[in-house]
Every structure is written in C-alpha cells, then in structure tokens.
Amino acid sequence: MTKRYYFCIRYIPTDADFELLAGRCISQMHMFMVNNQQALHKIAVSFPNWNESTVGQSIAFVCEHKETLIGLSFQPYFSLMVNEGLFEISSVAEVPDTVSEVRFIRNQTIGKNFLGSKRRRIERSMVRAEQLGTERLLPVTREDRVINSFHSIPISSSSSGQSYILFVQKELADERSNSNFNSYGLATNQERRGTVPDLAI
C-alpha cells in the first residue's frame, strides 16, 4: 500500500486541558482541509497517548501526501503555540510498517444519551405531532444502550461560530483500511472507515 507520513504535536504544559487543545488542533486541520480541497478527507488524526482517562498529551496527523502534512504543520496557530513554548512539533516522518492499526471514531450517537439532547428530541417530536394534528404523546426512549469508553473533544466552528462536542472512541483494527475520514480526520460508525497507525509514544 501507499506510504503514509505523520507529524506529532506534543502539548508542553502537563496540566493543560488536553481535550481542549486537541479540539483546537483538529479545528486548524479542518480549516486547512476546507481551504485545500485536494486534502479533504485525506488527513487523519491519531492520539499517541490515548488512554481511559484522557486523549493524551499529544496529537498526530497522518496523510499519504508528505507535502500536504508539511503545509499543515506550518499553520500560523501551530507556529504561534510553538513560539509561546506551549507546543512541540516533530518533523514529518514516514509511518513505520511495523505499527498496528486503529480507528478513532466520531460516534455521534453518544450525544443522544445526554439529557439536553433527549429533551430537544422530545420537544421536536411534540412540535411535529402538533403540526400533523396527531395526539401529543411523549416518545418512548430506549435506555438500554451500552457505550464503551470515549472522550469528549470540544470544537468551535469558524464558519457558524457555534461550539459542539466530538465524541471519540478508539477501536482496534485488524488491518489497514483506505484513507477515508470525515472533515475532522476521524472515522465514523458506517461510511468512513479509514484506519490510522497506532503511534503509541
């Protein structure tokens, strides 16, 4: 298969909010891809220090095109954070063939289990029932979902100005899959099933 490349960003302050910093880094990558359409869905995110309690103190970006990653690594936000002594950025390197494969999956169904989301869905269904002239019955909710470990990464949209949460889970993969990711560099439950190297450091 095609060679892949990566670079890592390590957050220097050990007491930083790693999820918040990951969200800011992902936002930068998202904007970079939107402004460089040939990169869209081609750059992926990996979390080398992911564990049960945190996304870890570093984030990695993976792509089959070395030049694309070099361009991403020189984004003004990353340079500013390096100059402020908050980030350490590695050079772009080739992914070793010996690493195992994982998926970092954006699982939007997790958000549906939170009370705010449930309330909004109930309100929407009641409004629909009223518009259709049917009886306003409360929808039946299923509470039997089992959710494996996940982390919440806050994201701000530069286009809409809205903030939201990426619910991300790590999944082991048997083999490498094609580079197919959403615009946040993540796999999804169904359509986008790309894998990334498990760059445990």
Question: Is pLDDT of 9 > 90?
Answer: yes
pLDDT in tens, 112-160: 655 455 555 566 666 667 777 766 555 555 555 545 689 999 998 766 6
Q: Which residues are paired to 165 by β-bridges?
A: 154
| pTM for this entry | 0.82
C-alpha span between 197 and 4 (Å, rounded): 9
Contact 170, 104 (CB under 8 A): yes
| β-strand pairing of 58-63 with 44-46 | antiparallel
**Does position 91 have pLDDT exceeding 90, yes or no?**
yes
SS3 state of residue 7: strand
Least confident of 73-82, 136-145, 192-201: 136-145
Which residues lie closer than 8 Å to 11 by C-beta, 6 or more apart?
18, 21, 57, 58, 86, 87
Single-letter residue type at 197: P
Tokens of 85: 């002594």
At 115 the pLDDT is 47
Higher pLDDT, 136 or 43: 43
Question: 49 or 180: which carries more pLDDT confidence?
Answer: 49
Q: Mention every residue, 6+ apart, whose C-beta is less than 8 A from residue 154.
A: 19, 20, 23, 163, 164, 165, 166
78-87, 99-108, 192-201: which has the minimum mean pLDDT? Answer: 192-201
Where does 108-162 show beta strands of DSSP type E?
151-156
What is the per-residue pLDDT for 136? 54
The CATH class of the 5-103+174-197 domain is alpha beta
The candidate with the shortest Cα–Cα distance to 54, out of 151, 147, 148, is 151
